[in-house]
Chain A
Amino acid sequence: AQTVTQSQPEMSVQEAETVTLSCTYDTSESDYYLFWYKQPPSRQMILVIRQEAYKQQNATENRFSVNFQKAAKSFSLKISDSQLGDAAMYFCAYRSANSGNTPLVFGKGTRLSVIA
């Protein structure tokens, strides 16, 4: 079974600074996706960024980027120029690509606070 580990229950960052959230995973599969989802207090789960395992290039979405180390099974999220609206719970998630109905496996989450 696949597992996802987020070792930082809470993090804080000053507004406009950069923060990195850590995630490691364990799998024996070769074809999979990795995601970072954000869940603000409004509670909807919002996709921040995705990475296909077969792609060597790290995904980037505006101020959000990942450091994907496939051999090390590591998938960290970097948030640049942090904004107050980035404050939320961040979940790292794994999904097998073997079929169209495999569920997400979530890490325990990292609560990010942004200090003005």
Chain B
Amino acid sequence: DTEVTQTPKHLVMGMTNKKSLKCEQHMGHRAMYWYKQKAKKPPELMFVYSYEKLSINESVPSRFSPECPNSSLLNLHLHALQPEDSALYLCASSQDRGQATGELFFGEGSRLTVL
């Protein structure tokens, strides 16, 4: 299994809603990542989890709240978002350094629209 699975694929929410994006991998990877991608732009790093602990937060607004309940699952909780937060949210995972081929494995992304 070399897949990273993201749900939902599409999400439309109002500015007062609370929703969550989910990411799952069963490759035994211990690092997981959230990236945000606007149209025709490269992905921008948001968060990195390593061994279920938050290791990097790229000064992301608190209306985005990540969570890593276990080594296979990564969530991104969304609350009080703004229309400019509409984007493709990509999840990725990677191997431990000792086993690493170096690459990040990406999911298909969750397309978020904030009305």
Contacts and interface: CB of A to CB of B under 8 A. Distances in A.
A46 B97 CA distance: 21
A25 to B, nearest CB: 14
B42 A107 contact: yes
Interface string A79-101: 00000000001010001010111
B103 A33 contact: yes
Contact of A33 (B55, B96, B102): B102
Interface residues on B, range: 20 to 34
Nearest to A53: B102
Interface residues of A, number: 25
Contacts of B41: 108-109
B102 A35 contact: yes
B48 interface: yes
Interface string B1-42: 000000000000000000000000000001101000000111
B48 A101 contact: yes
Contacts of A107: 42
Given A45-B92, A101-B94, A107-B42, 6 more contacts: A35-B103, A42-B108, A43-B109, A45-B106, A103-B45, A103-B48
10 A-B pairs with least C-beta separation: A33-B102, A100-B97, A101-B50, A106-B42, A101-B31, A45-B106, A100-B96, A44-B108, A103-B45, A47-B103
15 contacts: A33-B103, A35-B102, A44-B106, A45-B92, A50-B101, A50-B102, A97-B100, A99-B97, A100-B30, A101-B31, A101-B55, A103-B56, A108-B42, A109-B40, A109-B41
Interface of A: 33, 35, 37, 42-47, 50, 52, 89, 91, 95, 97, 99-101, 103-104, 106-109, 111
